[in-house]
Amino acid sequence: MTGTGSLLSHLECRSCCTRVEADRAAGVCPTCGLALFAVYRLDDLDWGSWSASLRDRPRTLWRYRELLPVRGSEAIASLGEGGSPVLPLTAAPEAPDVRLLLKDDGGLPTGSFKARGMTVAVSRARELGLRSLFVPSAGNAGVALAAYAARAGINATVYLPERTPRPMKEAARLYGATVVELPGTLREVGASARSREGAGGSFDMSTLREPYRLEGKKTMGWEIFEQLAAEGMPDAIVYPTGGGTGLVGMHKAFQELRSLGRLERMPRLYAVQPEHCAPVVRALHEDAARVTPWDDPSTIAPGLLVPAPFSSERILEAVRESKGGGVTVTDAEIVGAVRDLARRDGVSASPEGAATYASLRALVRDGRVRSGERVLLYNTGSGLPFSITELESAVAASAAA
């Protein structure tokens, strides 16, 4: 075996501090049922020689392999993911004095940031001997699981809401996954998937219910640091929030950088959600410890239709510790932002990613983003699977209803 040099030590629950051995497949905390986090022996990392060695490594997220959980290179199932660009945007009329950057994950394999989590989680699953994986997904995570499972030679089953965009359903099938379409939102689909799979031996790869997708997502924060720290980290990062792993992952990266003595001040993290499915934003405004499920949710952005995110304690903690907050946008604003990003900046954004651009008006109006600040918007996926005409008709139909 060629070792990766992974410094993975163990898994730990941040709610009840239970420690779990890392070299056996693990899902949630055996004591309290919340998310487990990978812990690394950061003291063993010699920053000087490590950061020098990063310069010669390929620009995939596996460049951070010492701080990822996979121990043997042979287990790695990679499609060249990571290393996405940070693009400067033209000044937006909605926020003329704000310096805008956009981290664009639309060009990643399988078309979204979900590739980050799945390359790491599927590789680790292979290393731990798992042969069959399943995931309930709004679309992108299912496509990514299907692709990486194909790459790793592992069986995958993907549970999708019936209303998932067709190109995503077809892509998951094309990669050889079993695709099961079910009624409802991710909440109902997730519950049904888990009860169907039961103790059948297939491993649950749902957001935050297994510990290693988060490790892949944390590379969003590591890349932002590597790309921007020399000129100064952004003041704020605006992120489209569904299951919340992106926020929790970036926060974990910034915590690791802080422990390593490399980061003094974290960027403020802002969670953007659609007005009719905003459980995280509501919990932030109400100062609640956890999210309560959102009744009758709806939005045109499939990845943000998550009415009851799991382990929401961790999402709220990430936003609060960074001194950020929550903001909502309407579906009409999201579609307008898809158009604006395309015309003004040549960027193909998913509705989820465009939601960050749509939130600028409110962030500036409420004084949460100030003149002269540098703000990084996270585009989590490509706009290509979406028809702008269909998105506009969906907005018109819901306005008429």
**Interacting residues toward ligand PLP by CB under 6 A:** 112, 138, 140-141, 207, 240-246, 303, 350, 352, 380-381
Binding mask 23-42 for Zn ion (x = CB under 5 A): ------x-xx----------
The Cα–Cα gap between 250 and 181 comes to 31
Q: Segment near Zn ion (CB under 5 A), from 6-14, 55-63, 179-187, 193-201?
A: 6-14
The Cα–Cα gap between 303 and 245 comes to 12
Cα 361 to Cα 96, 330, 334, distances in angstroms = 10, 12, 12
Smallest distance, ligand PLP to C-beta of residue 167, A: 13
Smallest distance, ligand PLP to C-beta of residue 237, A: 12
Location of structure tokens 């009860």: 195
For residue 15, the partner it binds in ligand PLP, Zn ion, none, with Cβ less than 5 to 8 A by kind, is Zn ion
Nearer to Zn ion, 312 or 328 (CB): 312
Nearer to ligand PLP, 45 or 329 (CB): 329
Give the phi and the psi of residue 259 in degrees, each rounded to 5: -60, -30
Smallest distance, Zn ion to C-beta of residue 28, A: 8
Residues 6+ away with beta carbon under 8 Å from 255:
none
Nearer to ligand PLP, 234 or 385 (CB): 385
% helix, strand, coil for the chain, step of 5: 40, 20, 40
Binding mask 308-337 for Zn ion (x = CB under 5 A): ------------------------------
- The answer to whether 3 touches 71, Cβ cutoff 8 Å, is yes
Which of 43, 40, 87 has its CA nearest to residue 64?
40
Smallest distance, ligand PLP to C-beta of residue 42, A: 24
The Cα–Cα gap between 268 and 274 comes to 20
Which of 18, 73, 387, 398 contacts Zn ion by CB under 5 A? 18
Residue numbers at the binding site for Zn ion (CB under 5 A)? 13, 15-16, 18, 29, 31-32
